[in-house]
Chain A
Amino acid sequence: MDPAVNPAVNPAVNPALLLLADSRLPAGGHAHSGGVEQAVTSGAVHDVPSLAGFLRGRLHTAGTVAAALTAAACACAAGPPPPEPAWGLLDAEVDARTAAPAQREASRTQGRLLLRVARRVWPSPVLEGLARAVPNPHHPIALGAAAHAAGATPEEAAMAAAYHAVGGAATAAVRLLGLDPVAVHGLLAGLAPDLAAVAGAARSGGDWESLPAHSSPALDLLAEQHARADVRLFIS
């Protein structure tokens, strides 16, 4: 039925966004804790309130950067100009914003796996072009390009990125600490305005160099400590 005449169909909600943000998207995300595993080991995250602080901090730093770069990648994929020559430059902008090697590695691993999944689920010349130009793209680059291939807008891509920045970390905390999953989902629901703000602030136009670059020194430390841990359940 034509959405215009059926008010039950809300064209503003893109189903592709749900697929991209779903933790069941088989792109390896379940094995990343976004620093939570090390924060649990160190004791910094130990209950629902400390997890709340962690997630909010993560969203407004790493999440803000990821959302902005993802939106930029989605816009870049949409062109014009043809995106292929630009992927390397945009990818370098993510590199420059990710000081910790363990985080760069985690981002590229997740980016590569997402690109693999996206190429099969939403086959498109844009994704083939990205795979040629940057076979191991940073996650925001892969997510932005995949979002475009799936028919999502840069704003929607930014929302998926913002949610990705906290969703996986929240699930990891549930598993590691045995937290009440309903309480943790309550936290995520409470972050809805923040998610909207972070995604809304990610603009798709303009120059790349001035995109957000929020640093989270504690996450950098946690990531490198985690990379050195002997016992580890999560990749990052």
Chain B
Amino acid sequence: MGANHEDHHHAPDGHGRALRLGVGGPVGSGKTALVAALCRTLGPSLSLGVVTNDIYTTEDAEFLRRAGVLDEERILAVETGCCPHTAIRDDIAANLDAVETLEDRFGPLDLVIVESGGDNLTATFSRGLADRQIFVLDVSGGDKVPRKGGPGVTTADLLVVNKTDLAPMVGADLGVMDRDAAAVRGARPVLFTSIRQDPTAATVAAWVSEQVAAWSHAHAAHAS
């Protein structure tokens, strides 16, 4: 595994390798559901790999494998020793190793998605691991979460507010969430989804496709 003699993965500018997309957010917000949706929607056109970071077990990886959205060999689980945010931010070695293993086995890939273990609002991906990151909130956490901010909400390349189907039930005001998010995020995009209602997560998938296209254009292996 990971016999990266040439260490091409470390070309600091990312030439010749897949876009690495981090998907983070609090526990249960729908990260795995989103990853499954992206695999479903993008799988037919892109070469994908997925790395999950679970807290206890390899549950997320198992879920994705069972969902049958991707060849199960392309899904790797990383154990994080009680500290999911450490594994995506402070000590990313095990995640990089998993990403590179996927690239070595199945490369060249277009996109590697790294799902963080559900943690807290401060957990964000190291730039050494993820080229782009999506932060997934859900409406049931309350409509004040975007206002509270935190590095995930404010700095993620895309903020996804999921489970909009539940908004009426939990009394969350999507308008307020949108306004508050825009206030802390400036021009960075926010998308509202219900993966329950749209299992293809079409809007998010479209955003990801654009990122992959832009990445591969800028980082083609032989570009100078």
Direct contact of A and B (CB under 8 A): yes
User: CA–CA, A33 to B82, complex, Å?
Assistant: 10
* Minimum CB–CB distance for A55 against chain B, Å: 17
Whether the Cβ atoms of B3 and A30 lie closer than 8 Å is: no
Whether the Cβ atoms of A116 and B96 lie closer than 8 Å is: yes
- A31: CB under 8 A from chain B? yes
Whether the Cβ atoms of B5 and A33 lie closer than 8 Å is: no
User: CB within 8 A of A136: which of B2, B10, B56, B93?
Assistant: B2
Whether the Cβ atoms of A232 and B93 lie closer than 8 Å is: no
A contact residues around B10 at 8 Å (CB): 120
Whether the Cβ atoms of A176 and B4 lie closer than 8 Å is: no
User: CB within 8 A of A26: which of B57, B79, B83, B90?
Assistant: B90
B contact residues around A33 at 8 Å (CB): 81
Chain B interface residue count, Cβ-Cβ cutoff 8 angstroms: 25
- B121: CB under 8 A from chain A? no
- A24: CB under 8 A from chain B? yes
Whether the Cβ atoms of B2 and A233 lie closer than 8 Å is: no
User: CA–CA, A25 to B55, complex, Å?
Assistant: 21
Whether the Cβ atoms of A233 and B3 lie closer than 8 Å is: no
Contact string against A for B residues 1-44, beta-carbon threshold 8 Å, 1 for contact and 0 otherwise: 11111010010000000000000000000000000000000000
User: CA–CA, A34 to B91, complex, Å?
Assistant: 18
User: CB within 8 A of B57: which of A27, A112, A176, A230?
Assistant: A230
Whether the Cβ atoms of A233 and B79 lie closer than 8 Å is: yes
B contact residues around A176 at 8 Å (CB): 82
Whether the Cβ atoms of B56 and A28 lie closer than 8 Å is: no
- B209: CB under 8 A from chain A? no
Interface of B is mostly: loop
Q: In chain A, what residue has the closest Cβ to B53?
A: A31
- A231: CB under 8 A from chain B? yes
Q: In chain B, what residue has the closest Cβ to A172?
A: B81
Whether the Cβ atoms of A31 and B79 lie closer than 8 Å is: yes
- A132: CB under 8 A from chain B? yes
User: CA–CA, A28 to B2, complex, Å?
Assistant: 14
Beyond A24-B90, A26-B90, A233-B56, is A116–B97 a contact (Cβ under 8 Å)? yes
Whether the Cβ atoms of A175 and B83 lie closer than 8 Å is: yes
Q: In chain B, what residue has the closest Cβ to A133?
A: B5
Chain A interface residue count, Cβ-Cβ cutoff 8 angstroms: 30
A contact residues around B96 at 8 Å (CB): 116
B contact residues around A24 at 8 Å (CB): 90-91
Whether the Cβ atoms of A232 and B90 lie closer than 8 Å is: no
Whether the Cβ atoms of B81 and A234 lie closer than 8 Å is: yes
- B86: CB under 8 A from chain A? yes
Beyond A26-B90, A27-B93, is A233–B5 a contact (Cβ under 8 Å)? no
B contact residues around A113 at 8 Å (CB): 93-94, 97
* Minimum CB–CB distance for A172 against chain B, Å: 7
Beyond A112-B2, A233-B55, is A28–B79 a contact (Cβ under 8 Å)? no
* Minimum CB–CB distance for A175 against chain B, Å: 4
- B87: CB under 8 A from chain A? yes
User: CB within 8 A of B81: which of A120, A175, A230, A231?
Assistant: A175
* Minimum CB–CB distance for B133 against chain A, Å: 18
B contact residues around A116 at 8 Å (CB): 4, 7, 93, 96-97
User: CB within 8 A of A28: which of B3, B7, B93?
Assistant: B93
A contact residues around B2 at 8 Å (CB): 112, 135-136
A contact residues around B79 at 8 Å (CB): 31, 232-235
Whether the Cβ atoms of B5 and A31 lie closer than 8 Å is: no
Contact string against B for A residues 118-134, beta-carbon threshold 8 Å, 1 for contact and 0 otherwise: 01100000000001100
Q: In chain B, what residue has the closest Cβ to A31?
A: B81
User: CB within 8 A of A231: which of B57, B91, B94, B97?
Assistant: B57
User: CA–CA, A24 to B1, complex, Å?
Assistant: 24
- B92: CB under 8 A from chain A? yes
Q: List 19 A-B contacts (CB under 8 A).
A: A26-B90, A26-B93, A27-B91, A30-B81, A30-B90, A30-B91, A31-B78, A31-B87, A112-B1, A113-B94, A116-B4, A116-B7, A119-B7, A132-B5, A136-B1, A233-B55, A233-B56, A233-B81, A235-B81
Seed contacts A28-B94, A31-B94, A235-B81; 6 additional CB < 8 Å A-B pairs: A24-B91, A26-B90, A30-B86, A31-B80, A33-B81, A116-B96
